[in-house]
Amino acid sequence: MSIETLTAAVRNIPDFPIPGIQFKDITTLFQSQEHLKELSDILYEKYRDRGITKVVGIESRGFFMGPAVAIKLGAGFVPIRKPGKLPYKVIEETYTKEYGDDVIQIHEDALTKEDVVLIHDDLLATGGTMVAAYNLVKKLGVKKIYINFLIELEELEGHVLFPDEVEVSSVLKFKV
C-alpha cells in the first residue's frame, strides 16, 4: 500500500462543521483493516527507535491511533480531554482554534520528567489544539516531546508554531 492509496481513502465533507470548512474524514481509513494496519505500521516505523515511553492522544480523534501506536511501541497511553472528563486532579490550557475558544486538560500526574512523549492527533490545521497540548505536556517537565498527525493541511503552516527542537511530522499532507 502507498501514501497515495491512504490519501485517496480520506473522505472530504464540504461545509462541516461550519460553512467554508472542507472536513477531512479519517473514519474511512479506520474502516479498512488494510489502511488501519498500514497507518499503524508507518507510525511504529517512524518512532520505534525514539525511546517513547508515553503516547499522548488528544480527544477525540487522537484516541483512534494513539493507543494502537502505544501498544506497538511498548509505551503507555495518556489522554488529553475536554473539561469534566478526567476523574483526577488536572492541569488545563485554554486556546483559540478555528471555530472559537476551547479548553483541554491532562491529569497532573500523567507524565514524569523521565518520559519521552509522542503527542498524537488526527489533523494539523492552524495548530491551536496541538500547541495547547504541547504546553500541557511541557508543564509536566518531560524529557523530550515529538508531535505527530495523521493529516496536515500544509498551506495553513501550523507546524511553524512549534520550537525547532520539536520534531513535527504528518503521515498524509493535503492542500487546503
Catalytic residues: 61, 98
User: What one-character DSSP code corresponds to residue 6?
Assistant: H
Please give the Cα distance from 106 to 50 (Å, whole number).
23
Residue type, 146: Y
* Strand pairing category for 100-107 and 90-97: antiparallel
Q: Is 151 helix (H, G, I), strand (E, B) or coil?
A: strand
- 20 burial type by CB count under 10 A (0-12 exposed, 13-18 middle, 19+ buried): exposed
Q: Which cell numbers in the block locate residue 123?
A: 489533523
